[in-house]
Structure 1
Amino acid sequence: MKRRTFLTTATLASAGLSTLLISSCVDTKKNEKQEATDDSVEAFELEEETISNLREKLASGKYSSEQLVQMYLDRIEAIDKKGPKLNSIIELNPDGLSIAKALDSDMKAGRIRGILHGIPILIKDNIDTADKMQTTAGSLAMVGNIASKDAFIVKKLREAGAVIIGKTNLSEWANFRSTQSSSGWSSRGGQTKNPYILDHSPCGSSAGSGVAVSANLCAAAVGTETDGSIVCPASVNGVVGIKPTVGLVSRSGIIPISKTQDTAGPMARTVSDAAILLSALAAVDPEDAVTLESKGKAQKDYTTFLDVNALKGKRIGIEKKPQGNNKIINEVLDGAIKLLKKQGAVIIEIDYLDKINAFGQAEFEVLQYEFKDGLNNYLAKSNAKVKTLKEVIDYNNTNEDKAMPYFRQETLESSNAKQGLNDPKYLDALAKSFEGSKKVLNAVFKEHQLDAICGITMGPACSIDTIYGDRWGYSLTTPAAASGYPHITVPCGQAYDLPVGLSFFGTPYMEGELIGLGYAYEQASKKRLKPVLKTSFL
């Protein structure tokens, strides 16, 4: 979840979202003296490789899966653990190489498990794996929690032949701990860094997944989102992220925040790779009832929507009110709009954001209630030493120096103070936020006959500040998140040498159509730039 999305909504709405970038993200100019952190970092053989290319090279025998895993492990050692020390990986799978070796044997025998056979993948550290890796949501209170069974999506990844080589760091408790948090920081994993400029934020909560993909530490990764936690780190780390419709991808075995808004989703360097990974993840899970709604709506192969002409004739809505007065960001958006038109899209000015932002406090209220209920249920069945949210809070208080060296846990505490899900206050907030957001979006889609709504995903990354917390400006994460609707972000340029993403979101189970739009834009724009590991602006 993106920090302070809900707590600042009233402020943003009253200001008309006039502030696009805040604090250090506003007035820092490009410095001609910017330098890479470590000139000794060697070129990487698998740099910018796609899943499709790797599959071909595995099939031809150029690489074995064991070789791929070893090369990514060496890359992780070189720039994640040493060198620039991106700190995106919280734990490596000690069985990664042996799993890859077994998959190589299967391939030689003609036993291809699925579309990810032998492909090295990373997953976020709030997703259960029944192996030697822990599942902790980055919290010291959860250290030692080794799941008894795989999360449903991990089962699907293994069935598809993926090699899960490790888990990624995240904003602790998926950034539902404090209003003053630093994205990508956890008490277990420390601070993850943006690979473009190392003293800048990787966003979150899927910080490690976004950074690892961008820095070529894996073929692709899985993140999770409640509000912004996939699309924000995808945007600011220059990669593609898909936040699916709630119900397309199972949540069972994932440490929860919200049964209404939570989902897992793919993060990759290309739309094609994200589509491949989504194809492996999407499935009905009997243990997650909401996935039953996807029956007959999910696609077996989302790569069939990869069409360079997908924008032609499509009606794309863009908020007509200016989302700030930052010249560089406006130029990036203007350039994106011009390209959309050039590719045949019809741009429609719409007015909807103020209405969605008005539900911000209700959304936060919903999440607090559902976090307490969901986390208590998860912990009660887990192998963690803490069995309730209250015990997590108590652990943090007892171990304050290590667990809370920079910011507190007021969001954990306010959530724990909530009543059950039959509380009229919860039901009222749910009606306002979830149903209200859907009503607004459904109305604007119908009125303007839109195929998608589009806009800048996030402003560029702000500076890392573990003491005072993040300082983000404009974002376009909440409309799709609060309604449970699908959302894809694609690289669309840079501001201050930091990536900026372009969002497309639509109505339920439109993932295929959004993938088509994102792919057409990606292929026409080619805005993905490799990170250069600069130390800072200064």
Structure 2
Amino acid sequence: MITNAPKTCLRMPRCHGIEIEECSIPQLQDYLSKAAFTSKELVQCYLRRIELVNPYVKAVIETNPDALDIADKLDKERKNGHIRTLLHGIPFIVKDNIATKDKMQTTAGCAALAGTIVPGDARIITLLREAGAVLLGKANLSEFASMRASYYAEGYSSRGGQNRNPYNLAHHPGGSSSGSASSLASNMCAFSIGTETDGSIMFPADRNAVIGLKPTVGLTSTMGVIPESPSMDTIGPFGRSVEDATIVLDIIHERRATIDTHIDRLVSISVQNSCPGLYTSWLSKKDALKGARFGIPWKRVWERASKNATKGLEYDSLMELIEKIEKAGALVIKVNFPSAEEIVSPGGWDWEFGDGKTGSRLSEFQVVRTEFYRNLRSYLSGLEENKIHLLEDVVAYNVQHTAKEGGVPRTHPAWPTGQDNFDKCLESKDWPEDMYLKALEYIRRKSRDEGIDAALRLEGDNLDGLLVPLQADGGVACSVAAKAGYPMITVPVGINNIGVPFGIGIIQTAFNEHLLVRYGSAIEDLVGRQMVPRFLNLEADNHPYVGTPPEKALLL
């Protein structure tokens, strides 16, 4: 059921008399440079917007009590002729698993970590502060980045409650960077930052009609981020446009010759495809599509989308877009991941699928749960005022406070299966090292050499990108990019029959973000601007679940 929201309660406040709803970073910067309003006034406007809209969307866990003071200092710098970057005085929101050494918490949405003190800002926060961006608040998320359960309410955390999709609040905004995307879509900030292991930037961006740009693993620093799987974890921007996301990427990227973590010692990533100049220099219009060459991975990707009866409108719309891309002068051909039957589940996103079956010891989940257990222990050891030292402590806390935390199955409506994925992670602590290394080598090889890189090769040269659906295929293409640690961008295309946005993704090989920028902005120009959130079903109070419900789970 879809019902309309009363628009008056959700009207975007004007900033010093100026309409700033859907304003881009360059537009806001232009207003600031002309003294149409100050950064402090801009922050006040966004804070008022959060007060009005967040009670319904629950995208923001907490706001920064120092935001106005920070903005005031930046205004004084501007008055004295010092403008740091295009982000000078621009407010942003960051996911709550990214450490900030200030008066806000860093908890991954988990009450067990409330009150802990991080040793310092995450590297990404340092870069953004130095660029002059104003940290406005912490975004809600699927608790512990969707790591704790196999069937759960997407976008829910014990600290933030149920984050909702501003286009239709009866549906989830995607996870796990749900609040980062939905806060931007709701005009609570000018840009936002999320993290991804597998789909956690792509899906929320796709379902909120914003741009999500997931960099190659290693291009942006994850220092100071509550880890999930360092071999797959990355940080990326959400923007209203490819240009906005790219402006942020120019600030936060820090290319290294190789990924400097032990987990990539098996397969090094080449950086021969270096980006000349700034990423923003690669922004383009639709005429850049003339002469471009794209592949559409068919087997188990577009093939599944074509047969997905519930996603017919999305598939048809994406096919129409591909026709427009071809009419703009691009070549689009069917290709395949050679390893598709081994690592792409025919039933949709399934990180336990590997070696052609679910539950394989060669699956992505084997890698993730091993790395999560080990690296969470390392992260927790660096916190102050902390009584939580191991994953076992988190599990025990959730059981002790199960009425609020859902540590026991069927005791909390957001977590019908309790914390069953945490339980599986605990099993990995005693595994032999070679079991983990074998799984890591397998998913890397099958998703890179026998996956994306093979699909990109055409007549001795590489295609300009792989075009993929984000939702109509069940999320499987996105998962291949995640296993590989390769970059991806999503561009909004339309709204489906339940009022939720959808888009198209582009996948490239390692460190080819500049090509994602070039062709993402070209497709964005071809598609045109999408509609703003309608806030349908404003009074929704359901829990929108994801995952496969267990046969005997009693939903509360």
TM-score, normalising length: structure 2: 0.84
Q: Match of 1:436? A: 446
Change (3 A) 1:39 1:62: closer
Q: Match of 2:343? A: 356
- Figure out how many residues of one structure are paired with residues of the other and give that number: 492
Picking from 129, 141, 154, the partner of 1:158 is: 129
Change (3 A) 1:294 1:115: farther
Q: SS state of the match for residue 381, structure 2?
A: helix
Q: SS state of the match for residue 242, structure 1?
A: strand
Deviations 1:102-145 (A, max 9, x none): 00001111222223100001000000011111100000111112
Q: Match of 2:377? A: 376
**Retained in 2: the 8 A contact 1:421–1:427?**
no
Deviations 1:170-191 (A, max 9, x none): 0000000000111100111110
**Retained in 1: the 8 A contact 2:141–2:179?**
yes
Q: Does 1:342 align with 2:327?
A: yes
| Percent identity (aligned) | 38
Point out the more displaced range, 146-155 or 299-308. 299-308
Query: Aligned ranges for residues 24-63 of structure 1 at < 5 Å?
Result: 34-44=3-13, 45-63=19-37
**Retained in 2: the 8 A contact 1:152–1:252?**
yes
**Retained in 2: the 8 A contact 1:250–1:285?**
no
Structure 1 residue runs of 5 or longer lacking an equivalent are 1-30, 460-471
Q: SS state of the match for residue 11, structure 2?
A: coil
Q: SS state of the match for residue 138, structure 1?
A: coil
Q: Match of 1:487? A: 488
**Retained in 2: the 8 A contact 1:129–1:151?**
yes
Q: Match of 1:302? A: 279
Picking from 431, 445, 456, the partner of 2:456 is: 445
Matches of 1:421 and 1:286 in 2, distance apart? 31
Q: Displacement, 1:40? A: 3.2
Matches of 2:200 and 2:276 in 1, distance apart? 24
Matches of 1:295 and 1:443 in 2, distance apart? 17
Query: Aligned ranges for residues 171-210 of structure 1 at < 5 Å?
Result: 171-210=142-181
For 2:51, the aligned partner's letter is E
Q: SS state of the match for residue 76, structure 2?
A: helix
**Retained in 1: the 8 A contact 2:46–2:188?**
yes
Structure 2 residue runs of 5 or longer lacking an equivalent are 14-18, 346-352, 355-359, 407-411, 541-556
For 1:337, the aligned partner's letter is I
Query: Aligned ranges for residues 275-424 of structure 1 at < 5 Å?
Result: 275-284=246-255, 289=260, 297=274, 301-308=278-285, 309-321=287-299, 322-323=303-304, 324-326=307-309, 327-352=312-337, 353-357=340-344, 360=354, 361=360, 362-383=363-384, 384-404=386-406, 405-406=412-413, 407=415, 408-419=418-429, 423-424=433-434
**Retained in 2: the 8 A contact 1:366–1:426?**
yes
For 1:451, the aligned partner's letter is D
Query: Aligned ranges for residues 505-516 of structure 1 at < 5 Å?
Result: 505-516=507-518
Please provide the CA RMSD for this pair: 2.3
Matches of 1:530 and 1:236 in 2, distance apart? 12
**Retained in 1: the 8 A contact 2:211–2:491?**
yes
Change (3 A) 1:537 1:118: closer
Matches of 2:233 and 2:445 in 1, distance apart? 16
For 1:523, the aligned partner's letter is D
Q: Does 1:93 align with 2:64?
A: yes
Matches of 2:390 and 2:193 in 1, distance apart? 26
Change (3 A) 1:79 1:255: same
Higher relative contact order (CA 8 A, sep 6+): 1
For 1:332, the aligned partner's letter is S
Q: Displacement, 1:330? A: 2.0
Change (3 A) 1:161 1:536: closer
Q: Match of 2:546? A: none
